[in-house]
Amino acid sequence: MTPASRKRATACTEERRLLGTLAQHGELFEPAALDDDAGAGNGDELSKTFAEVVAEYRATYMVTDLKITTPGVCVGPR
């Protein structure tokens, strides 16, 4: 089996799986899979606003000495 035909067979298998899930559940994702993902975090994470998420990200992951915006700095070649 050539790599191209293997990719095609894999794509067809995935398409059949998705079509079967869609026919069975009316959605592309099984309800049990959605429930497992939702149960991973706590309920507070789902009620945060975008501004709260950005503030938390900046406070934890984006800790740096740089300003949020630095005008006049060239990032790449012109």
Task: Quote the CA–CA distance of 37 and 17 in Å, as a whole number.
Answer: 20
Task: Quote the CA–CA distance of 19 and 33 in Å, as a whole number.
Answer: 16
Domain locations in the chain as residue ranges: 3-60
State the chain's mean pLDDT as an integer.
Answer: 75
* pLDDT tens digits for range 12-50: 999 999 898 888 878 877 666 555 555 555 555 578 899
Can you list the pairs that 19-28 forms with residues at least 24 positions away whose Cβ atoms lie under 8 Å? Answer: none
Asked whether the whole model's pTM tops 0.95, one would answer: no
Task: Quote the CA–CA distance of 48 and 35 in Å, as a whole number.
Answer: 19
* pLDDT tens digits for range 41-64: 555 557 889 999 888 888 887 776
